[in-house]
Structures are given as structure tokens and as C-alpha cells.
Structure 1
Amino acid sequence: MKQMIIYSGLCIALLIMCCNKKKGNDDTATSAVLKDSILTSKLSHPWEIVWGPDNFIWMTERGGKLSRVNPATGAVTTILTIAEVSAQGEGGLLGMALHPNFATTPQVFVAYDYMNGSTYIEKIVRYTYNGSTLTSPQIIIDNIKAASIHNGCRLLITPDQKLFITTGDSNDQTLPQNKSALNGKVLRLNLDGSIPADNPTPGSAVWSFGHRNPQGLVFANNILYSSEHGPSSDDEINIIEKGRNYGWPTVMGFCNTSAEQSFCNANNVREPLWAWTPTIAPSGLDYYDKDQIPQWKHSLLLAVLKDSRLLQLKLNAARTGIDSVFEFYVNKYGRMRDVCISPEGKVYVCTDNGDDDKIVEVKKK
């Protein structure tokens, strides 16, 4: 039986009250006491933070700067500033992913928006890290429409060495259902930019479509999870599946109106795991499978912008559904853009307030 979750303002208020009291899940017998502290500050619109194989935090800032952050000292070392980046509204230097065999193949993939004549465009570029800077840029894919809003854009490399890219609708609702367009999609490429033979449509980078503005992406439990911004309702957590339609702009959240149900039945629409109304503006997403914070184990951690908090989304035993939601650091640090996790289980969250942005460290006290 299809599960539908529709929140009224009262339900949200009750949930917030509940979570504020618990400040964690129900496993109180094994819960760790948490300590949060500022690792570094004076940043400018950080977008992506990734735990690197060198045990540093790799970071992009929307203005075009890539840096490495020392998690022991908070020292920030710039490794490249991309002059071509054009930061307009929500656009600029966005997603980043490091090659999974970084020691032997030190490649860094980044997404950024730039001006091609008078046209605002997004591209994915692969660099090589030489130990101090990034060199040898190679374009992986280009000519993705960009805008001041709804650009996506997260990058992820899965264990089979496929590059996934989320793209927003770039404020053009005609694009997500158009399979010939690159916008409003999750794209899948080989690491050299070629199109995998097992993509849904031969010769097409499109893996899934019907997306509005997906800004979070993580692969865990052999599942690809994503977070996505809705319009004035229905922010979503999705499981991304090959060739599936996610409904936008006809469907918002669940297929719970007669028009949506008709479209969903005719178009193989995949409903979300969870939807929020009113919206919360979900952004970066990661999966916690460490022992340091046992109450967060087997949870998605979601950075939230509009409601300025970190959410724990406790997954069910099959990891295919969300059993409960808990919130942390409500309005303490402001808008939260992305989250990453160290091998020992510390959690790092970057803010996106535009003024003295920070990376916050969360660990067991």
C-alpha cells in the first residue's frame, strides 16, 4: 500500500517540538553525547565539502575557489581559483568529486557555471592534482543550461567508476520531461566523459529525469539517494533508479491528486521516500555508517538551508524508507549547504550564509 506523507503546519510544529526534546533518536541507551565546534570560518558560500583520501576536507566555494582544509587545525589552503567561473545568484563553482583511486589516479571533477559569449552555461571539468595545485583541465561534458537558480549540481563517483551529475531545470519547466535536454536530470557518464553502454537510452547521458533542483546525492547500501527542492511545497528525498521519471513539473512530491495519479501511472513516476510541506530547502546529503555516533548509524544526514539545521533521516532496516526524522543545531549556525563524514565518524557541515561562512565539526563528546 502506497505510503503518503502530507504535513500541515501543525504537524511540522509537532515534529519540531518532538525532535527538539529528543535531540536524537530513540536509542538513548547507546546514544553518544555530541559536541559541535567551529573548525574554520571566514569562508564565502562553500558549496561542496568532500573528505579526501589525504584525510583533508576538499572544498569548493561558489566564487571559483577550490581548497583543502586541515581537519586538525582548520587551516585552509587554496589549490586553484578558476577565473572562468561566473557566480550569478545560485550559480558558480558547485559540485566536486575525487577519483576513488586517488593515490594512483589523482583526478578531481568539478562542476561550474561560466559565460559562453552571452549564454550562461554549466560544464563538468576533470583536473589532475600534482600535490599543490590542479592542472590539465579536460572537459567531461559541456553545454548544460545554467541560470541564477536551479542549477543542481552535485557530483558523485560510484564504486563502478561511473560519474553521476545532478542538474536543475535552470528555471525552465519545459526541460525536465524532455529527454533530449540535459537539465532537470541525473546524468551518468564514464570518467572520460563517454556514455556508458548500459545507460537507459543509447547515446544519452540521462539516467533519470523529471527533476526540479536536486542538490544532494549519496551512494550507500547499493542505493543512490538524492535530495531535491520543491516549489512552495514538497521538498523530497528520492531513491534514484535507472530510467525513472520523477514527475516535475506535473508531479510535486507524492502522486496524491487525480491529475498526478494519472500522470504517474502513464509515465512510470517514482515517488519520493519523504516529502516536506512547508518546504525546508534540502541541500547536501551523506550517509552515516560509523560507530562514533551510534544513534546516527544507518541514517542519511541532510544539510538544510531554509530551516537552518542538520537533519538525521533514520532509515528502515531495508534502507529503502525513512522511519523517523530528527533535527540538530536549529538556527545555531544558519543555512547549511553540505555535509561530509570522516572515516572515524566525525561529521562536518558547511554553512552558506554569504557572510563569514563556516565548517562545523560534530563528534562524540
Structure 2
Amino acid sequence: MKKVLITGGAGFIGSTVASALLDRGIVPVVLDDLSKGRAEFVEGRVFYRGDIADAALVDRIFAEHPEIDATVHCAAKIVVPESVARPLHYYRENVAKTVELLDSLQRNGCTRVVFSSSASIYAPTPDALVDESSPVEANSPYARTKQMMEQVLQDWTRGEGAERQRVITLRYFNPIGADPQLRTGLQDLNPTHALGKLIEAHGTGAPFTVTGVDWPTRDGSGIRDYIHVQDLAEAHVAALLRFDGVLAPDAADRYRVINLGTGDGTTVRELIAAFEQAVGAKLDVREAGPRPGDVIGCYAAVDTARELLGWKPERGIAEGVADALAWRAKWAAHLGA
């Protein structure tokens, strides 16, 4: 494999995938409109600024880089509250523009696609564990766009004129950390996920509240699947390198879903302990009952990824916290914050 097109390759995950490809001697060709991605994340890389639905631009990319062997589709709007407030914007950006992109890929003979999806589309389960056969029940416009994009991709592999199109969909929950070489990381200095709130609590001295302490988990707190973004990136690379083994060109079924995760999840208390270890200080941690709508959470079974991709997560939660903190310090200095 010589070159790979990465849509959204100037974002958190896409840029880390691009770095992992470069480390393997594969050239990433990045397409990003920089609405959320950062120009700093594509410095020195093959980069096209524009929209994934711009057919003329995608045609030019393939004309100038005929060695592109596959596409990694990471481009998407991903903020859940924004998706609730602006659902039509999310359906247009994530679903409608993906349709246009796929039309361009098919026209240019790009037969391999790795789709960066989300395990947020799974329905809650009693034991919090989900595998690829678990029921799907997306509960936000953002998650529903991911579910719809998956359906579009699956139908695309079965449609007229798409006899050779194949798609591997990777579902995962909560990426944390940063590129270990600190080439890229989260664009936002103050993310709203649990780790971001821990960083905020540490910086301001405000208390961190564990909401719900009686869940049927190892320690009573809710559980999530926090996976190091570098492990995710390497899984994307593994999917590309093993693509024809997972989905042979003559396969009857040309669509495959693979979960990515830690395999056992991380409870809120475990995340706090890892954070306190990384910063060398105790936080003011308080407990409260679950908020309306809170659930136990989910984590992903990763047996399929081990079997088909030869992949398993190599970095623990403590390393993810440490890399997130190191990146935040570097990025804050860069931004002058």
C-alpha cells in the first residue's frame, strides 16, 4: 500500500491515523475543510483543503495521486449537544456528504474504504458489554448519523455498479491521549468528556463529582471504554494492511463491522485513580446519585479485532492520561493560552 486518502485527516483521530501511516512508510493524502481540524496538523503532509462533497476536488486528488489504494473516512461532525440543536446540519454534513463522497470514490475506482464509526450507536446492555452483534439503538442525532452512514456504506457495497466496493467499519467509544510523539492531539483545550472535567478540576481546584455509585460494576461507578488514540490509529492501519484478508475482492459479503476498545472498560473511579497517579495529587472527589438519563455505560468486546486485524490495545489508561496532559501543555503553549 503506497498512499491512503484520509477525509478529516486534520482532526484528532484522522491526524493520528495519518502519523501512524507515515510511521509505516505509507503516504497519507489528507482532505479536510479545517472547520474543526487544524492546519498545524497537516504541515509537511499532502493536504487538500475542501469539502468531501466537492466532486471536482476529489477527482483532482485521484488524478494527482493515482497510487491511492484506499480511503479512511473520518470526516464528520461529532458534538452531541450541537447535533440535538442542529439536526439538519448533522444529517447534511455527515450523511448527505458521505453519499457524494462515495459516488466520487466509486467513479475513481477506489474499492477499499475504512469507516471511522462510533460504538455510541449500540443499545445499552445489562452487563455493559457490547459486541458486533449487539442491538443498535442510536439515541442522538449525531449517533443516528453514524448509524445511517453505516447503512449507506453497507447498501453501497451491494448496489449496482459497486461489485468491487468493500467497507470495513470500525466502531469505538472514547479516544483519549495524543500521538505519543506529540505531533497532534485534541484541538480543544477544555474537552467536555470525563477526562476533560478531571483536568479542569485539577487546574481550578473545583470538586469532581461521581454521579452514580451503585451500578453493577467492579466498584459501583459507571463504566466507559477509554482507548488511547494511538491504539485506535494503529487499528486503522491494521485494517488497511489486512483489508484484502478481511474482505477478499471476490467476497460475497463486502461489508464488515469490527469493534475497537480495551476489552474490559474503565470505571469512573479507575479513571480518577489513573489521573491522580499521573498528576501526583489527590482531587476533591464527591459522590452523588445518577442524573436523569444516566446509564451504566458500555465497553466493547474486541475478540473480532484480535482475530481479523491481529490488533490489541497496547497502552493503558494511565498512559492515555499522561499523553493527554503532555499534549495539553504543549498545545496551550502553542496557542498562548
- TM-score after normalising by structure 2: 0.31
Which of the pair has the greater relative contact order for Cα pairs under 8 Å at 6+ separation? 2
Structure number having the greater helix percentage = 2
